[in-house]
Amino acid sequence: MERLKQYGVVVLVIILCFELAWLGERDAAAALTPEPAPSAAPSATPEPAPAPTPSPAPEGPEPEPEPLPLPDGDGMWRLAIASADYPLEGEYEVETAPVDTGYLFDARAAGALQAMLNAARADGMDLRITSAWRSREKQAALYENRVYRFQLEGYSREEAEEIGATVVARPGTSEHELGLSVDLITGTYNVLDEGFADQPEYQWLLDNCAKYGFIQRYPPEKSDITGIIWEPWHFRYVGAECAGYIMRRGLCLEEFLERAGLLPETNEEAGE
């Protein structure tokens, strides 16, 4: 009996050992099996940051307008005007000097005209004078000749005078009497018409005339102000500073004088 108990104990011990061994293998296998990684939580889509509102620039004083470059009292002769709206009251007295091939110009501006012609020729431009200063008598003769030619075509005296004034200014209304205007042609183009604008000399004048004190006196699209058709051949001396201001801004002389408060009264404004 005692021996049977001993055998039973041995069997139980053996079973217990097998049981413990089996449990150990299971735990080891479980330890070797990797656990699934936890899935990452979905990240929230960031909302776009609002664009910064620019701070308004501090308001400063507006830039000062360029002052009008008016000549001093002794130089106001440069801004004299003569036209149908602003006729000369009488014979305009001016001291003249010969320029180039003997054409007369205001003696105070003759050197500037000669310098412009010399510079143009140095640049290959064949500029030539065809008309400069005219006396009142000469202007009257030119005007009367034009009126007479229109009368020969069948116009009445009144009609001929009106039409003639669109071609040749009436005495006292031409800036040639001031000795400050010049008509220019080239060696190959000697007609006073808009075809002069197609010559390289015309572009040279637009680019350079202000350096020597000259402006295009009757620009295109200014006829309603000047009362004169576009004359690309006609240039006028006003002095370098005034010329630069006028040409940079595309003005005519009337507009410049109006800005300066120097435009004379017309006959209608004066009540005549």
Q: Look at 127 and 72; give whichever has higher pLDDT.
A: 127
**By the 8 A CB rule, do 88 and 173 touch?**
yes
- Ranges of beta strands (E only) in the chain are 96-99, 103-106, 127-131, 181-186, 214-216, 234-237
Contacts 24+ apart (CB under 8 A), 8-11: none
- β-pair type (96-99, 103-106): antiparallel
- Confidence band (pLDDT; 50, 70, 90) for 35? very low
- Confidence band (pLDDT; 50, 70, 90) for 5? low
> What is the rounded average pLDDT for all residues in the chain?
83
Whether residue 87 has pLDDT greater than 60 = yes
Domains of the chain with bracketed CATH: 75-134+176-259 (3.30.1380.10), 135-173 (no CATH)
- Does the annotation mark 231 as catalytic? yes
pTM over 0.75: no
Whether residue 53 has pLDDT greater than 80 = no
Whether residue 55 has pLDDT greater than 90 = no
Dihedral in degrees, nearest 10, Cα atoms 132, 135, 138, 139: 80
**By the 8 A CB rule, do 123 and 204 touch?**
yes
Dihedral in degrees, nearest 10, Cα atoms 183, 187, 192, 198: -110
Instruction: Say whether 224 sits in a helix, a strand or coil.
Output: helix
What pLDDT was estimated at residue 93?
Answer: 93
pLDDT (average), residues 190-201: 97
Q: Look at 102 and 9; give whichever has higher pLDDT.
A: 102
Instruction: Say whether 92 sits in a helix, a strand or coil.
Output: coil
**Catalytic residue of the set 25, 231, 241, 272:** 231
pLDDT (average), residues 31-41: 46
pLDDT (average), residues 22-37: 46
